Structure 1
Amino acid sequence: MTLPKIGKPATNALANIGVTELKHVSKIDEDNLQKIHGVGPKAIKILKTALAEENLNFKVLEPLPFRTPFAVMGSLSCNNAPKREILRNFVIGVHANQPTSIRHLHTDDCDFEFFTDVESISSLEINHLITHGKEGAASSITTLKSGEKLSYAYIFEFENSKKEARIKKVSIYFQADC
């Protein structure tokens, strides 16, 4: 089913993140939907009603470790996998410019840069979180309020193979307009 009439700014904002049908809306939680630049309370009310008419609901997410000024979507469930949770929280923390919130996730000599223009982010979609032994990888797409997309790939090395191991090294690659 196509999206109901929610206004051009909201329709465009959702299209920017690949949400073009009502079933796509059901994969986003209401809190994150409110953070997407261009989606206001009126659009959310219309979407909520349309979802209910189709026996659908907004997604219910497991709580994230800290709040962000932008929507966070995608592969967020850690399914009792501590290293997936470490990677998820690290990726969110880097984009949210939250050094104190992720300090415990990496060693002191781990070198990386934070996303500094947090106010320009509309959404962060985490697509992959993969761990195996002392290694891990993640990918994400950041959609800016301007509609520009930045695609990121992260390659991680943990300090050891234990489930509570911290990140020892990270390489972050990005490409604009993916």
Structure 2
Amino acid sequence: MKITIPIDCDNAPKRRIIKDFIVSVYQKKWQEVGEILDENFSLISFGVNSIEVFDVLKEHFSSIPKIEELVIDEILSHGKLGACNGKIKLKDQIINFAYFIEFKSAGKNTITKITEYKI
């Protein structure tokens, strides 16, 4: 999978965590994802029930066909909140995404809540 990310996303720790999370879930690197997520995380993906179990999160992302390219356009962070947008390119389809992320606190780098939008 080709990965394209903003060159400045390592300037702030939370931006780096967001980048690492997005790249890891789409590469299906579950150990790395588990290290980033709080044990009481939740993922809200519209059209899908809220996901609060790690194995269900793995199923959610594993259902995506082979990804040819992951593009992260922008990553933002402020306090305990963050967001990113981009797209995944499949063989015959492009899926645009946006993720809104909440960390445990402004001082902690553990993700507790993810809201996912895909079109």
State the distance in 2 between where 1:77 and 1:118 align. 28
- The amino acid that maps onto 1:130 is L
In the alignment, is the contact (CA less than 8 A) between 1:97 and 1:118 conserved in 2? no
- The answer for the alignment partner of 2:54 in structure 1 is none
User: How far apart are 1:78 and its partner, in Å?
Assistant: 2.6
Matched, 1:174 2:84: no
- Post-superposition shift, 1:88? 0.1
In structure 2, which of residues 77, 83, 89 is the aligned counterpart of residue 131 of structure 1?
Answer: 77
**1:104 corresponds to:** 35
Alignment gaps of 5+ in structure 2:
44-56
TM-score normalised according to structure 1 size: 0.54
CA 1:110/1:76 → structure 2, altered by over 3 Å: closer, same or farther?
farther
Which of 61, 66, 75 is equivalent to 1:120?
66
Alpha-carbon distance between aligned partners in 1 of 2:42 and 2:30, rounded to the nearest angstrom: 12
Distance in 2 of aligned mates of 1:83 and 1:109: 19
Counting matched residue pairs gives 104
2:102 equivalent in structure 1: 157
Deviation at 1:74, TM superposition (A): 2.8
Report what 2:9 is aligned to. 78
CA distance in structure 1 between the partners assigned to 2:10 and 2:26 by the alignment: 23
> 2:67 is aligned with what amino acid?
I
Higher-RCO chain (CA-CA 8 Å, sequence separation at least 6):
2
Relative to the length of structure 2, the TM-score reads 0.78
RMSD: 1.7
* Higher gyration radius (CA): 1
Partner AA of 2:99 in structure 1: Y
Q: Aligned residue for 2:90? A: 144
**Residue 107 and residue 152 in structure 1: after superposition, are their counterparts in 2 closer, same or farther (change >3 A)?**
same
The runs of at least 4 aligned residues of structure 1 exceeding 4 Å deviation read: none
User: Where in structure 1 are there 5+ consecutive unaligned residues?
Assistant: 1-69
Sequence identity of aligned pairs in percent? Answer: 26
